[in-house]
Structure 1
Amino acid sequence: MNQTASVWLVVMLALLMANMPFVSNRLFAVYALRSSKNLAVRLAELLVWYLVVGGVGLYLEQRNGQIAPQGWEFYAITGTLFLTFAFPGFTYRYLFKHRS
């Protein structure tokens, strides 16, 4: 897999995983909970998905060559980008009115 394909794979995976906590009522899309997830659980799950996508990105970067050193700026930018990717799922879950 070339570098361009790796970048697009990580971006698409981040877009999918950022919305997963808000679209699915299951914990990590696998474990069914007895009650509905609250916002704190969804945000914790969002953090875990951020770390998973970051790990996949790190793995793909290592496969393509040397890993570039990252400072706090890298994590601040990728964290806010991940939150931006999560906005459609958040909007669907909390801002749209759902009919019962």
Structure 2
Amino acid sequence: MNNVYLLCGLALIAANLPFFFERIIFCIPAKKVKGFHWRLLELVILYVALGLLARVLEGRLSPVHEQNWPFFVTTFAMFIVFAWPGLVWRYFWRKSGV
């Protein structure tokens, strides 16, 4: 059960990371303000990384249960919902120049 809480906490943090950093893929400094397409790419990369971590944790406890596309669509939609606070902070709440 602790793995579930760990994954949910990591998902909340990972989903918001692209909106708090101005480096492209967290390592290349952006010359201007990082575009939304870079943030979306980082979001997908973090979703895949978190999914791989979840698969490893599941494999340590029991045989891995194979998933179909509805599972991935649902979890990606949840990941997007988790990203909502970062999106609001970046584009709606934050004052320009900060």
Rounded to whole Å, the distance in 2 between the matches of 1:67 and 1:45 is: 26
Percent identity of equivalent pairs: 32
| Superposition deviation, residue 29 in structure 1 | 2.9
| Superposition deviation, residue 73 in structure 1 | 1.1
Rounded to whole Å, the distance in 1 between the matches of 2:52 and 2:60 is: 12
Rounded to whole Å, the distance in 2 between the matches of 1:9 and 1:27 is: 26
Rounded to whole Å, the distance in 1 between the matches of 2:55 and 2:24 is: 24
**Which stretches in structure 2 are left out of the alignment for 5+ residues?**
none
**Letter paired with 2:28:** Y
Residue number in structure 2 paired with 1:7: 4
| Superposition deviation, residue 99 in structure 1 | 4.5
Rounded to whole Å, the distance in 2 between the matches of 1:51 and 1:61 is: 15
Q: Which has the higher strand share?
A: 2
Structure 1's consecutive aligned runs of 4 or more residues displaced over 2 angstroms after TM superposition are 27-31
- Pick the aligned partner of 1:87 from 80, 84, 87: 84
Classify 1:74/1:30 alpha carbon distance in 2 versus 1 (closer, same or farther; 3 Å): same
**Which stretches in structure 1 are left out of the alignment for 5+ residues?**
none
1:10-89 superposed matches below 5 A: 10-89=7-86
Rounded to whole Å, the distance in 2 between the matches of 1:99 and 1:18 is: 22
TM-score, scaled relative to structure 2: 0.92
